[in-house]
Amino acid sequence: MEGQQIVERERRWAVPAALAAGLPLVLYVISVFVEQSANIDSGGTTVEELRSLQGGSGTVLLAAVIRAIGFLAIPIPMLYLFRAAQARNPRVHPAMVGFVFIGPILLAAQGIVAWAAQDRISSDFAAMGAEPSRLYSKFQSQLKSSPESIEKVTLYTQPHALDVERSDGSFYSASYPPKAGGRIQADLQGAGVDSEVDSEGAPGDPRTDTPARRWRTRWSTTRASDRWPRACSSPRCSGSS
């Protein structure tokens, strides 16, 4: 290509390339306003944020798509500069043009994939429903008849309640008499069931080791995979009797 043709080509594409260079910033600002209109409760607990995301999932997706379009516009000015450099330097290999597209495409895809993961987590959390509750007598019966079906029990001194994690991964909560805490701990230790005492939390509190906390971990890592296995101090876990 002759020098004059190169100059004419660059002059013809200069304005479109300049507009495309500013488009990502404009679209990003628009996506921020769109995402804010979803009223996602990011200042509260993780549980509240998951619930609000479930209601505004479509708006969050729209914001992600707008950002993705902005990322996909980045290759236009980059291609303009690449062609200009290629015309002036024979060492610029044509195959290197692929790097102009790889980064922006991956960034655009990452936004959509992140939304899909967050939407799956919030949907699963909403479908999980509230933690079921049982009578204290039912817990006592389970502890006496089949302690191996209980994985862990968390006792809350206020408001005198406990969380029971079954061996199958399900949970339930129960209220116990105020003076029964010591007896429960002794019974759990005698049955070889892992337990802990929490003086600040409550059943279903995302700060404690409950289903809400498990979902909080998944949310913070934006992964819909199985959680990491936690350590178990129960004699049953170590195989001792």
Q: Which pLDDT tens digits describe the chain residue by residue (241 residues)? A: 567 788 888 888 899 899 999 999 999 999 999 888 877 766 544 556 666 676 677 888 899 999 999 999 999 999 988 888 888 888 888 888 888 899 999 999 998 998 888 888 777 766 655 567 778 788 888 888 888 888 888 878 777 888 788 877 777 888 888 777 788 888 888 888 887 787 666 555 544 444 444 544 454 554 333 333 333 444 444 444 3
Q: Are residues 77 and 97 in the same domain?
A: yes
59 and 119 inside one domain: yes
**Is 190 found in the same domain as 156?**
yes
Do 159 and 93 lie in one domain? The reply is no
Does residue 241 form part of some domain? no
Residues 122 and 142 in one domain: no
Token pair 């195959």 is at which residue? 95
Could you say which of 102, 128, 154 is where a domain stops? 128
Give the rounded distance of the alpha carbon of 79 from its chain centre.
35
Looking at the fold, whether 142 and 119 belong to one and the same domain comes out as no
CB 228 within 8 A of CB 184: no
Contact by Cβ (8 Å): 59, 38: yes
Name every residue whose Cβ is closer than 8 Å to that of residue 238 and which is 6 or more positions away in sequence.
none
The answer to whether residue 204 is domain-embedded is yes
Which domain range does residue 164 map to? Answer: 136-233
Does 239 map to a domain? Answer: no
What are the structure tokens assigned to 206, written together?
């995302």
**Residue 194 vs residues 68, 79, 108, 127, 207: alpha-carbon distances, Å:** 48, 61, 46, 28, 19
**Size (the chain), residues:** 241
Which of 128, 150, 184 is the C-terminal boundary of a domain? 128
Cα distance between residue 159 and residue 126, in whole Å = 25
Same domain, 59 and 145: no
Question: CB within 8 A of 136, min separation 6: which ones?
Answer: 174, 175, 176, 177, 180
Is 181 found in the same domain as 65?
Answer: no
